Amino acid sequence: MPAYIIRRLLYMIPIVFGVLLLTFLLFNVVGADQAVYRLAGNNPTPEILDDIRHELGYDKPLIFSIDSQFVTHVKKAVTFNFGKALDKEPIIDKLKNGVPYSLALTVPMFFGIVVTSVSLAILAAFYRGTWFDRIILLICVAGMSFPYLSYIIFGQYFIAYKYDLFQIYFSPQRSIWSNAALPILIGIVVGIGGNVRFYRTVMLDEINSGYIRTAFAKGLSTRVVLFKHLLKNAMIPIITNTVLTLPYLCLGSLLLESFFGIPGIGGITLDAIESRDFSVISTMTFIFSILFVIFNLISDVCYAFADPRISFD
Amino acid sequence: MNENIPLLSIRNLSTHFFVEEGVVKAVEDVSFDVAEGKTLAVVGESGCGKSVTALSVMGLVPESAGRVVDGQILFRGDDLLKKTESQMRRIRGNEIAMIFQEPMTSLNPVFTIGNQIVEAVKLHQGIKGEHAWSHAVEMLRKVGIADPARRVREYPHQMSGGMRQRVMIAMALCCWPSLLIADEPTTALDVTIQAQILELLRELQKQQNMSVMMITHDLGVAAENADDVAVVYASNIVETASVAAIFEEPLHPYTQGLLRSMPRLGQKMERLESIGGSVPNPLHFPQGCKFHPRCPIGVSDQRCRTQQPQLREVAPGRCAACFHAKGYGD
Amino acid sequence: MNEDNINSFQRSSLWHDAFRRLRRRKFAMVCFWIVAGYFALAVFVYIAESIDPTMSAINWKEQLGQGMEYQRPSLCSVKTIFGTNFLGQSTLISTLYGVKTALAVAFAASVISIMIGVPLGAAAGYFGGVVDDIVVWIYSTLSNIPWIILVMAFAVVLNDDKIMGGKLSGEPGVYLAIGLTSWVGICRLIRGEIIKRKESEYVLAAKAVGCSNSRIIFRHLLPNVFHIIIINFSLRFVSFIHMEVIISFLGLGDANKPSWGKMISAASSELTRGIWWEMTAATMAIFVLSLALNIFGDALRDCLDPKLRMER
């Protein structure tokens, strides 16, 4: 297994390089002028523009030099020394402060979504073709069709403002859980629709297979058949898919954090988008994709554990 | 046990599937008995309703699509159709066990075979922990798996098809059922393995004194293994008799056709005969006798085309559903 | 019959069968007509605008009330059915205009993502080797960046920017951002299908009679996976619409034209003052369109290729 993980880690290198190349192209080549003009304000003189260029490092050669922009870009990423944001705070500090809040929001959200949608999907698959199944499916499709922003805005308005069941906005005095409860709830509601639908197709593929019939023929109860025999087989596509839902969690944390004022990574990213702070956005892109690659690796390892037919070599 | 009550007695069983295009009458008014310690072969072409009959007995007809609409399934005189789901669970795998056609997919790929056998033992026999595992090893030895103590911890994908079917048999027999339903147990296997598995089944049947309901499309398998035969055509039983009688003198034209399409030793033939035409679509069964379009007699007979013959005793111990069968009467 | 004809015969019966099955699903057909209605509205707004942007039916700038006065929804005139926003402009007309913005962006983004994804996927699957390696590298890079961050990054950069001499702003920035980042799914699907099919008899037969590679790809392989492109198109469209809403909500879209995202952005702060109608109008417009598209897309997939499992 260590050999497998090392091989997978080596496979990450071109991907990470690709991400760095892309962020470089986006923010240093295509977007450079935009950043400069934004900072310069109205009617800048060429001198001011040159100053800003120099300050942001845009005056250096792009690629072919020892201190070229690309080399600096890669160096920053490899050493995890991302420099400073526009407000002069080191980006790494911003990250360190934001991570706990983001985790407090996304981890419960993640497990909430997976547990609820897997259970619902199993039930829907078992009662396939009945009214129960159809209603679940319709609710899921309707849930997926409702705009994300409206979930957040209406949720915040009705649940927190009108009926005062939760906190409307982050306040540092209260515990993180009382601050994060409503965003977590909204995140789960949003995430369920698509997941239930996907897991249901996965379950349907499995529920008609021979081993389910065998398990019933043994006299096992429905509960044991579904939650032991079916679930362990369906685990394999489920694991792969949960990794695919992670980017949606990022979306969740982005908008949720900014609406509820939670000072996590998502909120920081949105602020950076608003103020066109390219070094922060570039760093976030890099960090998120590293996380994503690592989660992919974890999912592949879990995959091999869940399915005895797959070996690590 | 009363000699006169058969172990399993199916009376007028009808199982229907409700699909978008209409009602599929997969099993229609089927009656037969399985006697204590005997083997009944249910013979018929694929899609004629044999497997659905078996699933009806087990109470495993997929709920979303179909259900038993009529009839009785008497097991030791009790109607299984009247039992609750939890009562049925105590019978399934315990008193009535079933093995399936595809050993490749019938075992759960993500559990060891030991785990899957132990599960049934624990559930029905109340044996716990190590004892259940040693019982599983014992069962594997019984079905002829070499080195069972090691094999018991392996996964299905590490075994060949024949071995998996042996595991299925071990799993079915681990609770000493009194009735085993074998749904085409050898169809998916090589010919040499087929013979071994059937041999094994016969041996175990003698050892454990159980009844077997063997579902097959192969009259040869029936001839070698069964005591009685029920021939099914298009959801109906067309003939029941002892094996000897049916090979001696088949009464229903369909049975006759099946026999003629079987190769026989010592008979030189240019080519095997086959029954002309094809199995009717279960959504649109023909009027009258369902076999009449393919029947040499029925195709021109007015009565066969309009009236459906009922299964009726034509001689002691044998029944047929054909107006032209010997002894059927008018 | 030559193999071309057989091929096209099989294809036409696939489509024929699918449409026959589709027509039997009443609910899906209702959804289809709803989607068609939205498209008709978008085309109407587009044409009306190009004739005369001040035409009263689409002139969202026209102020119905005085200054900052809000008008509640009322039936006294068509334009006030959904009330007005804080500038006194009709919510109905803004919503209507939003149909055009959303559909234009989603459509252009779909076209871009198909134009990139399909040829790349086909080439990677067909030629294999280095071409495949490079394409797989590009799309694994893209797919390893969470989509939302990627789109945001593109949208930020492509917003109000000079690229290669031309100025890029508003709608084109948005659909370029979505299109350039979302071709991975279709590319992966097509690559897989082509790999599966390139050893099939009809391709070998075409090779044997000396067809060129491009002829094999465009005449023989792609038409056989066309239904996958259609299914992907119909299911992806919804997420493009939602993406457009979020991007314009964040102020990265066209600042001068109404869009659902901008409406939501403006209305979200008004909600606490009891101004619920603008938010509701935009939400319902998105909801009905997405629901209809989702249901129709699912039905289409069931009819064309029930086995196809789409990544979300």
CA–CA distance, B41 with B123 (Å, rounded to integer): 30
Chain mean pLDDT for chain C: 82
Q: What is the pLDDT of residues A197-221, one digit of tens each?
A: 888 888 888 888 889 999 999 999 9
Question: pTM for this one?
Answer: 0.80
Å between B301 CA and nearest CA of chain A: 43
Measured between beta carbons, which residues in chain A are less than 8 angstroms from residue C133? Answer: none
Name B312's bridge partners: B320
Q: Residue C69 pLDDT more than 80? A: no
Please say if the pLDDT value at position A313 is more than 70. Answer: no
Q: B residues 159-198 near A, CB within 8 Å?
A: 168, 171
**Among C25, C132, C136, C145, which would you mutate to test the A interface (most chain A Cβ atoms within 10 Å of its Cβ)?**
C145
Of B259, B229, B233, nearest to B245 by C-alpha is: B229
Q: Which domains does chain A have, with CATH numbers?
A: 2-79 (no CATH), 98-306 (1.10.3720.10)
- Can you spell out the DSSP letters for B74-128? EETTEEGGGS-HHHHHHHBTTTEEEE-S-HHHHS-TTS-HHHHHHHHHHHHH---
Q: Smallest Cβ distance to B102: which of A210, A235, A309?
A: A210
pLDDT surpassing 80 at residue A38: no
Contact residues, C window 108-167, toward A, CB-based 8 Å cutoff? 137-138, 140-142, 144-150, 152-154, 156-163
Place of tokens 């109008």: C281
Q: pLDDT per residue over A160-191, tens digit each?
A: 888 877 877 777 777 777 788 888 999 899 88
Could you tell me if B98 lies within 8 Å of chain A, comparing CB atoms? yes
Tokens, residue A112: 């909430």
Q: For chains A and B, what is the number of CB pairs under 8 angstroms?
A: 78
Q: What per-residue confidence (pLDDT) applies to B140? A: 93
pLDDT in tens, C204-252: 888 888 888 888 888 888 888 888 888 888 878 999 999 999 989 988 8
What's the pLDDT tens digit per position in A5-19? Answer: 888 888 888 988 999
Lowest-confidence range among A131-140, B213-222, C73-82, C249-258? Answer: C73-82
* Cβ-based contacts of A19 with chain C (< 8 Å): 141, 144-145
Q: Which residues of A touch B (CB under 8 A)?
A: 127-130, 209-211, 213-221, 229, 232-233, 235, 306-309
**What was the pLDDT predicted at C114?**
93
Is the pLDDT at C311 greater than 50? The verdict is no
Per-residue pLDDT at C312: 38
- Residue A51 predicted with pLDDT over 80: yes
Of B111, B119, B157, the CB nearest to A218: B119
C153 pLDDT tier (thresholds 50, 70, 90) = confident
Interface size A-C, in CB pairs within 8 Å, comes to: 141
Q: Which of residues 234-253 of C touch A (CB under 8 A)?
A: 238, 242, 245-246, 249-252
Alpha-carbon gap: A287 to the closest alpha carbon of chain C (Å): 9
Which residue in the set B86, B93, B105 is minimally distant from A211, CB to CB?
Answer: B105
Closest CA to B93 of B128, B55, B74, B121: B121
Given this model, what pLDDT does residue A206 score?
86
Mean pLDDT of A268-285: 85
Q: Does the distance separating the beta carbons of A306 and B108 come in below 8 Å? A: no
Minimal Cα distance from C294: which residue of A?
A: A141
Contact with chain A for residue B102, Cβ under 8 A: yes
Contact A149 C163 (CB under 8 A): no
- The rounded distance, in Å, linking the Cα atoms of B100 and B106 is 7
Q: What is the pLDDT of residues C172-205, one digit of tens each?
A: 888 888 999 889 989 999 998 888 888 888 888 8
Please indicate whether residue A142 or residue C255 has the higher confidence score (pLDDT).
A142
Chain B residue with the nearest C-alpha to that of A210? B106
Question: How far is A59 from chain C, CA to nearest CA, in Å?
Answer: 18
- Confidence at residue C100, expressed as pLDDT on a 0 to 100 scale: 92
User: Given a cut of 70, is residue C2 above it in pLDDT?
Assistant: no
Confidence of residue C167 (pLDDT cuts 50, 70, 90): low
* Helix boundaries (H) for chain A: 2-24, 32-40, 46-56, 69-78, 91-126, 131-145, 148-155, 176-207, 210-217, 222-224, 231-260, 265-274, 278-306
| pLDDT tens digit sequence for A231-252 | 988 888 888 777 767 766 766 6
> Which of B86, B111, B120 is closest, CB to CB, to A218?
B120
> Looking at the predicted structure, is the pLDDT value of residue A280 above 90?
no
- For the ranges A113-117, A302-306, C35-39, C116-120, which has the lowest average pLDDT? A302-306
B109 touches A: beta carbon within 8 Å:
yes
* C-alpha closest to that of A103 among A253, A294, A236: A253
Residue B67 host element (H or E): strand B66-75
Q: Is A33 on the interface with C (CB under 8 A)?
A: yes
Instruction: In whole angstroms, give the CA distance from residue B326 to residue A147.
Output: 75
**pLDDT score of B1:** 45
Chunk chain B into consecutive blocks of 10 residues (it has 330) and report each block's average pLDDT, rounded to whole numbers.
75 88 86 91 86 90 82 91 91 92 87 92 87 92 90 91 90 91 86 88 90 90 90 91 90 88 68 75 85 84 87 88 82
